[in-house]
A and B are shown apart, each in its own frame.
Chain A
Amino acid sequence: MPTARPCMRLFVALAALVLLATASVGAAEDQNRSSEAEKQLLALLRSDAPAAEKAIACKKLAIYGSSAAVVDLAKLLPDPQLSSWARIALEVIPGKASGDALREATDSLEGNLLVGTINSIGVRRDARAVTLLAARLQDTDPEVASAAAVALGRIGNTAATNSLRKALAIVPFNVRSAVAEGCVLCAERMHSEGKSALAVEIYDQIRKADLPKQRILEATRGAILARGQAGIPLLVELLRSPDKKLFQLALGTAREFPGDEIDKALAAELDSASPDRAALIVLAMADRPETVVLPAVLIAAAQGPKKVRLVAISTLGRVGDASCLSTLLDAAVDTDSDLSQTASRALADLAGEKVDAQIVALLPTAKSESYPLLIELVGQRRIEAVPALLVALDHSDQTVRSAALIALGETASLDHLPVLISQVVSSKYPDDAPVAQQALRAASIRMPDREACASELAMALERSPVETKSALLEILSDVGGARALQTLSVAAKSNAPELQDTASRLLGKWNNVDAAPILLDLAETAPQPKYQVRALRGYIGLVRKFAMPEPQRDAMCRKAFDTARQTAEQKLVLDVLKIHPSREGLRLAIDAAQIPELKEEASQAVLVIARKLSEKGVDVNELLSRSGLEEVKLEIIKPD
């Protein structure tokens, strides 16, 4: 994992490398400056400069080099160390000279250097090289012959294609794979240029050859796509093939096949395919959402092998519409838990406002087994159906009531918050209380106006029994904001020990510095010493965790230190000072070092802070000299 370091400086450094030769200027001046750069770089290449410098010069010539640089670059092609550096430039310098140089070099090079040069000819798609490359297909070095084959494929014109097709039948097996690769490249080019019949011919020739399986697969894919709609029978043939690789190829190719006839073909295969394969075909169908044959997926979801049903049901959640609701609802109450759970998830995902409307319409007449499910869907889909949910709150079945509460938690607006509050504070069914609290929390934390929400909760607090007050305080803490903070503050100073405990705990883990004044006040005035300590620790936690201006942190540290009645909390302040070093912090640590019980920790803090400040270039000598501490040597170790 790299370190997160500002990158723009690097960018500037990089730019400087490039701009060594040419400052960033308008296009009109670029040519002159490139010319000048090229001259300097060529002079370097012609000199006795070390190979390292010549290598970098080659790279720069990739930008600034012209035909004038080709001769010097070509001289490096036989050099095992610099050959590839030279080709970096030769591959991209436009014009006839570079191509000529690369072709000429093939006369004298051999082995890897020849292979590399041929590769570069292929990258340049040099049509003038077809004859020499075609001859190289017969090279005794299979690596050379293979490189020539792929280069011909990249060139891909008629002559290159013909030479490759001819070679396919006669080259040794260890070269044939590369020749086939070249043929596939040629066929692709033909197809893209509208010569599909020729492409099909090439693909079919490859499919019949004795080749590694992967080449056959590539040609078969091409043969299907190049045939257009006439390729569907071949694709279907693969779907029925006992060969797993061919079947897999069909699944992939079906996903990229144009038109909607292929969707019908896929659907038609579902009945005859094995369950394992049918499940995979359904998935391929689902990856064509615009044209998927939904009725076929619906049938697969409703009946047949479980494996296929599971996939089909899941698929409907993704590509289905309102027409799938009935099938999914049936599956969602299936006795098989895998099916019912998958269907429930699909129902939650099924897109469309029509689906929402149908779910709401089904609520009044729902049977007992599907009623809770429909209510759950109202919540999961965030359907506005509060009146129907309120009706369900009075249902005799606790499962229904729980579902309604949870759905209300997901959908209720601020106007409906009192309903949920009353379910918490004075529910008709005491057993519903935990779910009601969960629902109230879910509703509260998503209210856009959290102050208004906190006001409702605070008012409810006043009329709640003690055992409910703590639950409401917890929710207020989750809601956050000024009103919640104030309410917790009051609770922390109340006469009820339980509320003191809950409120001080929640304030101690408040997630922003707004709680600081309240915590500092509690640190001195909380009804019990243990809550004073808790408040002070919460206060110190805020100073430690949150970003704030340095003077503010310094002041808070000083207050915390002065308020602390025990060394344990003072040591916590010293820890904060070490994490956030500042001059004022150093002063405080120096002061702390005068307290005998803190001398050791404070002295260590002084050293840490001083070292960190020194690294930032802050002069700490004067402060340290006044500290009364023994003289120490500060060793600054720079990070890598």
Chain B
Amino acid sequence: MSKKALSKKKTELHRRRFLKSSLSATGAAVMAPMVIPGSALGLDGAVAPSERIVVGGIGIGNRGTYDLGCFLKQPDVQFVAVCDVKKSRRVAVKKIADDKYGNQNCEMYRDFRELLDRSDIDAVLIATGPNWHATAAMTAAKAGKDMYCEKPVTKNISQSLILAETMRRTGRIFQAGTQRRNLPHFAFACELARTGKLGPLQKVFAHPAGMQAMMSGWLPGEPEPNKEVVDWDMYLGPAAWRPFNAKLLDGFNFEKGGGLVGGGVLEWGSHCVDLCQWAVGDCPPPVEYNAPKDGQLVARYENGTELIFRETGWIPLGSCPVRFEGETGWVEAGDSGKLVLSSPALLAGRTVAEIGGYPATFHVRDFLDCVKTRGVPKGNAEAACNAHIACHAANIALSLGRQVNYDCEKHEFINDEQANRLRSEALREPWRI
């Protein structure tokens, strides 16, 4: 191994270790998540076939290819199959996998149910368009697969709740693609908030940047391609029917949340609101969501802490910035990898550079470790459920243009039939969750 490679490995190990114990040496009250010695998981040498996690990919586009790269770097992963409704993607991903292993063994599927039928596959990477995430994840769970599922994970409140229930009931390992939970600087910021280092929390800020479209609607029909090239029916999946239109083939431009809700806030909120949720200890979502005013929407947790969805006053820390304010201090973090703190004392002797940022492979590793240990990954279904509910409820307040109040026990809006009707949306036949 070259010196540079060794150095990189050391840095990654350091950061990974940091994820485990960023504050524990300073007497943090809560326990940091476990990092299992690699040798205990058989990662210190060639991994025997019987110890490998056999993985299949569902809907591997741009983001999925990045995720796949993280999976393929892991010595205990064997990627054996890809499913995509687009032939071009099937072929491209097969080539990546076959090139990696020097064989032609990666099988291609158009219907993900055939991939899920394979008993040799332990886990799946779900990186379809957001329309499919929840339905594919729950179908995979019922087929006995663990899964790493890209975000936004759900289209509405009901799906969020059923997702968490299904993962519990099936005993499957679920990791949402909320990789910032495994990025050291975000983890550090959240831990400062969660462990009281900022004093009692008063406000947590999320900046869910907008999406290009909340609803793609029903565009003029175009000639439908051959199913082998693009399977339009499978692409639509659980979304209400509409004719083929090539513009709808971009997953990010596809309808989310039933069109009326579930769009703008979710795309980035499933990351930055998720971080806020982590900062408040993954407690139930806020109970009060106010109408937007002056470029922000203020939600309030039961204990009075405010979750602020903010558009203006963008923190110059790259995409996905968050800010946590306590009575005695505050911290900001973003995708630039930087941390800004109210006091250097909060760093507890560390430097920001030492805390570090990407790569996102930690999140994939966290998932794979949990597949083996049956532990609880950072982006688990329960945490994802709460964060997504917060986003969906905010979207509903935005849609209705008024305050809504949420009962976290009954999971319904209080005395608000309109809001309650927006908690769920029928799936197109024959899909169900």
Contacts and interface: CB of A to CB of B under 8 A. Distances in A.
B426 A15 contact: no
A4 B40 contact: no
A55 B242 contact: yes
Interface in B209-229: 209-212, 214-215, 217-218
Contact of A18 (B295, B399, B426): B399
A55 B37 contact: no
A273 interface: no
A636 B246 CA distance: 28
A244 to B, nearest CB: 9
Contacts of B373: 251, 280, 283-284
Interface in B185-229: 208-212, 214-215, 217-218
A315 B36 CA distance: 8
A98 to B, nearest CB: 11
Given A30-B418, A63-B422, A381-B25, A7 B345 contact: no
Contact of B424 (A123, A251, A255, A315): A123
Interface centre among A24, A284, A317, A381 (most CB of B within 10 A): A317
A319 B430 contact: no
B260 A17 contact: yes
B36 A24 contact: no
Interface stretch (B92-100, B261-269, B322-330): B261-269
Contact of B144 (A150, A214, A342): A214
Given A83-B429, A249-B171, A311-B37, A4 B349 contact: no
Interface centre among A4, A12, A212, A446 (most CB of B within 10 A): A4
B144 A84 contact: no
A302 to B, nearest CB: 16
Interface string A107-129: 00000110111011011000000
A285 to B, nearest CB: 11
A202 to B, nearest CB: 13
A442 B421 CA distance: 57
Interface in A457-500: none
Contact of A7 (B208, B240, B350): B208
Given A7-B265, A351-B24, A382 B169 contact: no
B260 A59 contact: yes
B241 A14 contact: no
Interface string B287-306: 00001100101000000000
Interface stretch (B2-10, B27-35, B81-89, B359-367): B27-35
Given A8-B292, A14-B214, A59-B258, A184 B169 contact: yes
B73 interface: no
Given A116-B428, A214-B170, A283-B373, A62 B345 contact: no
Nearest to B291: A24
Contact of A119 (B344, B421, B429): B429
B249 interface: no
A188 interface: yes
Nearest to B208: A7
Nearest to B24: A349
A248 B208 CA distance: 38
B252 interface: yes
Nearest to A355: B27
B234 interface: no
A532 interface: no
B426 A91 contact: yes
Contacts of A13: 214
Contact of B268 (A2, A181, A251, A315): A2
Contact of B37 (A19, A212, A310, A450): A310
A382 B25 contact: yes
B379 to A, nearest CB: 16
Interface residues of B, number: 85
Nearest to B347: A446
B144 A213 contact: yes
Given A253-B171, A284-B374, A381-B25, A116 B430 contact: yes
A380 interface: yes
B425 interface: yes
A279 interface: yes
Contact of B211 (A10, A56, A348, A450): A10
A5 B35 CA distance: 37
B421 A63 contact: yes
Nearest to A280: B373
B240 A55 contact: yes
A131 to B, nearest CB: 21
A349 B209 contact: no
Contacts of B297: 11
Contacts of B215: 14, 17
A136 to B, nearest CB: 14
A81 B292 contact: no
A156 B17 CA distance: 46
B254 to A, nearest CB: 12
Contacts of A12: 292
Instruction: Tell me the interface secondary structure of chain A in the complex.
Output: helix
A218 interface: yes
B420 to A, nearest CB: 8
B32 A318 contact: yes
B21 interface: yes
B52 interface: no
Given A217-B144, A317-B21, A81 B241 contact: yes
A318 B34 contact: yes
B429 A6 contact: no
Contacts of A345: 17, 21
A56 B217 contact: yes
A280 B372 contact: yes
B252 A2 contact: yes
A598 interface: no
A143 interface: yes
B36 A283 contact: yes
B176 interface: no
A351 B401 contact: no
A338 interface: yes
B428 A84 contact: yes
A212 B25 CA distance: 47
B376 A342 contact: no
A214 B240 contact: no
A349 B20 contact: yes
Contact of A448 (B343, B402, B431): B343
A364 interface: no
Contact of A84 (B24, B36, B211, B429): B429
B31 A6 contact: no
A307 interface: yes
Interface string A45-71: 000000110011001101100000000
B311 A217 contact: no
Interface of B: 17, 20-21, 24-28, 31-32, 34-37, 39-40, 63, 142-144, 168-171, 208-212, 214-215, 217-218, 240-242, 252, 258-260, 263-265, 267-268, 291-292, 295, 297, 311, 316, 319, 343-345, 347-351, 372-376, 398-402, 415, 417-418, 420-422, 424-432
8 contacts: A1-B319, A2-B268, A7-B311, A87-B426, A307-B40, A310-B37, A348-B25, A442-B349
Given A18-B401, A59-B240, A84-B428, 15 more contacts: A7-B210, A14-B215, A24-B291, A52-B242, A84-B241, A91-B426, A115-B429, A116-B427, A218-B170, A283-B375, A287-B34, A311-B37, A314-B36, A338-B37, A381-B26
Query: Would you list the 7 A-B pairs with minimal beta carbon distance, nearest first?
Result: A7-B210, A116-B429, A214-B144, A52-B218, A24-B401, A251-B374, A84-B428
